[in-house]
Amino acid sequence: MIYFLAAQPCQIQPEAAAVDCGLPQDELVDSHCEEDQCSSDEGEPVIDTVFSVVDQPGCVNLMSASSGVVVREPADADSPDGYSWTSEDVTSQEIPFPWKPGLQCPMYPATPYDFFRCVIGKRFYMIFINQVNKCAFEMGVETKTPSRKKKPKSKTLVSQWKTLSEDQLEIWLAILIQMGGIQNPSFTHYWSSEIMHKSSFFSEVAMTKDRWLGIMQTLHFMGRPSGSEKTEPFFKAGPLVTCFNEQMKKLYVPDRELCVEEPVILWKGRLVPWGFLKDKKDATKLHTVSEPGGLILRFYTDKMDISDESAASKVVRRVLADFMDKGHSIFMARCYTGVDLCHELLSRQVHTTGPLLPTRKNIPERILTSNPQPENVVYTRSNHGVVVMKFTDNIDQYLFVSSEFNPFLLKSTYKSFSKLKPEAITAYDKFISGISNSYCHLSDYGAVLQHTTSHVRITIHLIEIAVYNAFVLYKKYSTNCLDFAAFRADLVRRLAGLKKSFKK
């Protein structure tokens, strides 16, 4: 059943929540310009009016059903679960969420270092130390016994390798994290004596340049891979990615609302949203599942072309494997969403909301060809309660799908103006806006990534995610008030073993 909704206001209940929208409302939150992510001049909106379905002629049934007659329009033959589009007013399923979100620690951490160790986990340290020492030993043997085709090397960074210990690993991490806030052309410039590049920190820590670069050279976290493991993208960093995901699963129970945002690409040392590099189909994409507050819960890499709907669905199934059948509500970017995927996730007790690409399968033709007037919405429901809608504001049109929210219009009031939006789009803007904070914090170490191989970039990015997650949990559960820069500084001092502590 397809409706036009017109603006007929009625007062909302007092308990209606305010909408926290961090991006301009005249465009969807799928573009990742840094200026749009980090700031917004519109202010915080407040919903003060709700708009509901009105009588004819404001409500137009495009399926031409007679009064009291239920009309069903079947989807394509290859659609799952045999769903169909209907004129019947089907309500969305209410999926219970019985879990208690929060940090699963017997004793809450107190300092930035404590939070970082909780997020990174002991197993991360063990894998890192064991595999680096093993790789350094194998590289040292190859250096001492070169093949006939290769000339013997005089000396390398690992030819006189000393076993890596946990204390040295923490110093190495401290130097790496400190590099994230300092822009230099290359690694060697951080230890330069020139006044333009000189930093007293790198000369005070108990690790030389050659030792640090030697550890960087041996970042290989898997032994001789089998045939199936070689097909996995960046299998060299695979154990660390798996370790991070398992640690976050044990450490934290997430809220009901989760976000699967547009993937990013480590391109020329920067975090670039996939939407800006769609022509780089074979580039490595970093997919994450996050809380609306920015806490990254799962991390996954692949090279699949997600412009293909089946490939995008495979990615979603993989990153959401730990959240199925638990009653979560997922807000997804348009590169992932699909009508079939929304029905599939609903059968697994997962609600889905997000913008749709018009090229996706099984979108009702009447929705695609409709042209609603400004501040009006056209929608239809499936017999399972999934809503596909098209909304027009003063500038653009938006195609959305949701298995949880209604298309009824809400009025959001800002500092100097107000806007009408469907409930689904308002909720999407509210919960997806906080994800921009993580992109802003994770983009300040780009100069470091320009001089490393691909699997090392993944490793460095994973460590930065752990630092940011530790900061998010620190702000949520600690009584102190350090900002992100002060948090990093305190963490670096503790990892490096420097006596001076930061006090704000």
So where are the chain's domains?
A: 1-101+254-443, 109-228+445-496
- For the record, the structure tokens of 368 come out as 């695609």
Determine contact, residues 22/36, Cβ cutoff 8 Å.
no
Give the model's pLDDT for residue 356: 93
b/e sequence 373-407, b meaning 16+ C-beta within 10 Å: eebbbbbbbbbbbbbbbbbbbeeeebbbbbbbbbb
Predicted TM-score (pTM) of the model is 0.79
**Rg of the chain over CA atoms, in angstroms?**
26
Closest CA to 300 of 369, 236, 238: 238
Measuring CA to CA, how many Å separate 230 from each of 178, 219, 438? 33, 17, 31
Closest CA to 25 of 38, 36, 33: 36
Compute CA 284 distance to the chain's CA centroid, rounded to the nearest angstrom. Answer: 15
Long-range contacts of 248-252 (CB under 8 A, 24+ apart): 248/119, 248/296, 248/297, 248/298, 248/469, 249/297, 249/322, 250/104, 251/103, 251/104, 251/105, 251/118, 251/119, 251/121, 252/102, 252/103, 252/104, 252/295, 252/297, 252/473
Q: What is the pLDDT along the chain (504 residues), one digit of tens a residue?
A: 455 555 444 433 333 333 333 333 333 334 333 444 444 444 444 444 333 333 333 333 344 333 333 344 555 544 555 677 776 666 777 899 999 999 988 777 889 999 999 999 999 999 999 989 988 888 776 555 555 555 444 456 777 788 999 999 999 999 999 988 787 777 888 888 887 877 888 888 889 989 998 898 888 766 555 555 554 556 677 888 899 999 999 999 999 999 998 887 766 556 666 555 556 655 677 888 999 988 999 988 877 777 788 888 999 999 999 999 999 999 999 889 999 999 999 999 999 999 999 999 888 888 888 888 888 888 888 888 888 988 888 788 889 999 999 888 888 777 777 888 888 988 998 898 766 666 666 655 545 556 567 778 888 888 989 999 999 999 999 888 899 989 999 999 999 988 764 444
Measuring CA to CA, how many Å separate 336 from each of 298, 305, 331? 16, 11, 10
Give the model's pLDDT for residue 82: 65
What is the pairing mode between strands 72-74 and 46-51?
A: unpaired
Residue 275 DSSP class? G
Spatial separation of the C-alpha atoms in residues 274 and 269, rounded to whole Å: 14
Handedness of CA 45, 49, 53, 56 (dihedral sign): negative
Number of Cβ within 10 Å of residue 35's Cβ equals 7
